[in-house]
Amino acid sequence: MELYETLKNLGIEYEEISHKAIFTVAEALKEKIASRIEGTECKNLFVKSKNRYYLIFLDAGKRADLKFLARLAGESKLSFASDDELNSVLNLEAGSVTPLGIINDSENKVTLLLDRELAGKRILVHPNTNTRTISISFDDLLKFISQTDHEYHLFP
């Protein structure tokens, strides 16, 4: 409920649908989530360096270049974080990764790496559970991130 209260307090309008549990982008595409709610399907990857966690958020049709993103973040290497780390840091389960999960990161352990090409679009994200999807504007996502005092970088 804290997430929805934060969205409301920030004046972020969203549309929401419920659906069966979705664990991957491929499943979301197969279930045609985007045909039921307006927005761009997005991919979320939870990765880590030696000392920091990163949440990569990009268009579902793109491939994440971890070497490039590591350089962008000033890191030598990025690798995938474990499900246990995801749960410990963001209180999320596999399949529920979302940039909105940073609301649970009170220790500010996560930096976001965001696909610049999503700017100006409506995007589809899970509201911290993989049985619902919400549509918000990319600008509203940036407003949300700023409210949580998390660092983010836009990448080409």
Give pTM, 2 decimals. Answer: 0.95
pLDDT at 78: 98
Residues 6+ apart with CB under 8 A from 79: 47, 48, 66
Q: Would the pLDDT of 22 be above 90?
A: yes
pLDDT tens for 3-12 read 999 999 999 9
- DSSP summary character for residue 39: S
pLDDT tens for 64-112 read 999 999 999 999 999 999 999 999 999 999 999 999 999 999 999 999 9
Cα–Cα separations (whole angstroms), residue 86 to 5, 14, 33, 93, 128: 23, 25, 24, 7, 12
Domain boundaries, the chain: 2-155
- Please tell me the class of the 2-155 domain: alpha beta
Backbone φ and ψ of 59, nearest 5°: -55, 140
CB 69 within 8 Å of CB 78? yes
The token pair that represents 81 in the structure block: 């974080």
